[in-house]
């Protein structure tokens, strides 16, 4: 942390979390309302366990990513340990940040309240479940921003507020942010990436548990990617750095501004918001890719309008494009 803001995040817990057991459905006074959820547009960008984008990892069954599977034995630390359940392949075989940052149906939820990791909370968000569409305010996409919830959140039974006061410093600038900005600037200043570029992005990937078997991202791409030379080109490395920013800094208020300065808002923010079918009650109808809302981003949205009052006061001002 380089710079953070000290704040009580009790309200954030209600905004970004879901009930973890039936008693919490009636939480007051704020109630769980899931104003901050994660879209499938964002979850797509988290890497596979090999540290490669899901559509680019040659070991990842991308074409069947929405098929239902039993939880792999070595991944049960992230999921309900019930061996009879099925989950989408899409939620398996992903990098550690996927499970640390995101809450999802049948996923585990660790907190201060749980002293035994093997008996952690399990998120239940199908329509008839206590965190589902028919019982409470719910995540319309099926994903919640677990990253925004401090590990020491504590449920207080018979309390006025139900969730105890939690103070932490919400990040404004993190070291990872500075490293990624440095890697980005260096990559743009060179004809092709070199060791100086890699040295700033590699510590972030190492911290995230990536590149364990290969030692560095260049070797990871060479071994697992369908585009093995990607990190060796300026354009390829640009894409890698940008994706790393969108994953590492997700839900911290950076993405919107990054897309604007990269002039990519028109590409990303004109895509429909996607998630699972929140009205589904069983595995077969809940885990269906669903188009929830069609966003619109016009060229004029790269700018903000100048107030009419300002234009009336100074006739030399020219209104921004499109406004």
Q: What is the dihedral of CA 142, 148, 152, 155, to 10 degrees?
A: -50
The answer to whether the Cα torsion of 274, 276, 277, 278 is positive or negative is negative
Q: Mean pLDDT over residues 196-218, rounded?
A: 97
- At 158 the pLDDT is 61
Please give the Cα distance from 47 to 40 (Å, whole number): 13
DSSP 8-state assignment for residue 317: -
Q: For the segment 57-94, what is each residue's pLDDT rounded down to a tens digit?
A: 999 999 999 999 999 999 999 999 899 999 999 999 99
In Å, what is the CA distance from 67 to each residue of 25, 85, 163, 287?
A: 30, 13, 37, 9
Is residue 65 within 8 Å of residue 54, measured between CB atoms? yes
Task: Provide the pLDDT for residue 166.
Answer: 78
For residue 157, what pLDDT band results from cuts at 50, 70 and 90? low
pLDDT reported for residue 28: 55
CA dihedral 139, 290, 44, 84 (to 10 degrees): 70
CA 274 – CA 289 distance, rounded (Å): 7
For residue 21, the model assigns a pLDDT of 72
Alpha-carbon span 19 to 16, nearest angstrom = 10
pLDDT tens-digit map of 231-256: 999 999 999 999 999 999 999 999 99
| Domain spans, the chain | 7-170, 175-248
Phi, psi angles (nearest 5°) of residue 6: -75, 125
Q: How confident is the model at residue 45 (pLDDT cuts 50, 70, 90)?
A: very high
3-state secondary structure of 201: helix
Kindly indicate the confidence band of residue 205, based on its pLDDT and cuts at 50, 70 and 90: very high
DSSP strand E in the chain: where?
Answer: 3-8, 68-70, 86-88, 103-104, 108-109, 121-122, 143-144, 167-173, 272-275, 290-294
Q: What are phi and psi of 256, to 5 degrees?
A: -55, -45
* 133 within 8 A of 279, measured Cβ to Cβ: yes
What is the pTM (predicted TM-score) of this model? Answer: 0.92
Q: What is the fold, at CATH topology level, of the domain defined by 175-248?
A: 1.25.40
Residue 112 and residue 101: Cα distance in Å, rounded?
Answer: 17
Residue matched to tokens 């009636």: 26
Q: What mean pLDDT is predicted for residues 174-196?
A: 97
Residues 6+ apart with CB under 8 A from 159: none
Distance between CA atoms of residues 174 and 170, nearest Å = 10
> Is the pLDDT reported for residue 196 higher than 90?
yes
Beta-bridge partners for 8: 167
- List, for residues 106-154, the tens digit of each pLDDT value: 999 888 777 777 788 899 999 999 888 887 678 899 999 999 888 887 7
């Amino acid at each position: 942390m380089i710079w953070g803001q000290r704040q009580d995040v009790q309200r954030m817990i209600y905004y970004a979390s879901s009930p973890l057991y039936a008693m919490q459905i009636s939480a007051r006074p704020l109630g769980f309302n899931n104003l901050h959820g994660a879209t499938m547009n964002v979850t797509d960008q988290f890497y596979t366990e090999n540290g490669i984008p899901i559509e680019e990892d040659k070991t990842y069954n991308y074409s069947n990513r929405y098929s239902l599977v039993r939880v792999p034995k070595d991944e049960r630390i992230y999921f309900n340990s019930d061996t009879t359940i099925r989950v989408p392949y899409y939620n398996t075989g992903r990098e550690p940040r996927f499970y640390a940052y995101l809450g999802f149906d049948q996923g585990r939820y660790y907190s201060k309240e749980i002293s035994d990791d093997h008996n952690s909370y399990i998120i239940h968000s199908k329509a008839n479940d206590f965190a589902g569409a028919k019982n409470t305010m719910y995540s319309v996409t099926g994903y919640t921003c677990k990253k925004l919830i401090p590990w020491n959140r504590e449920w207080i039974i018979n309390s006025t507020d139900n969730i105890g006061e939690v103070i932490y410093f919400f990040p404004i600038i993190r070291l990872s942010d500075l490293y990624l900005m440095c890697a980005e600037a260096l990559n743009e200043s060179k004809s092709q990436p070199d060791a100086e570029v890699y040295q700033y992005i590699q510590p972030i990937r190492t911290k995230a548990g990536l590149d364990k078997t290969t030692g560095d991202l260049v070797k990871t791409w060479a071994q697992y990617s369908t585009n093995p030379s990607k990190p060796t080109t300026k354009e390829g490395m640009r894409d890698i750095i940008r994706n790393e920013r969108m994953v590492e800094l997700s839900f911290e208020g950076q993405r919107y501004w990054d897309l604007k300065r990269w002039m990519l808002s028109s590409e990303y923010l004109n895509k429909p918001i996607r998630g699972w079918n929140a009205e589904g009650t069983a595995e077969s109808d809940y885990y269906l890719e669903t188009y929830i809302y069609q966003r619109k981003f016009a060229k004029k949205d790269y700018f903000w309008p100048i107030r009419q009052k300002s234009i009336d006061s100074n006739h030399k001002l020219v209104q921004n494009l499109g406004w």
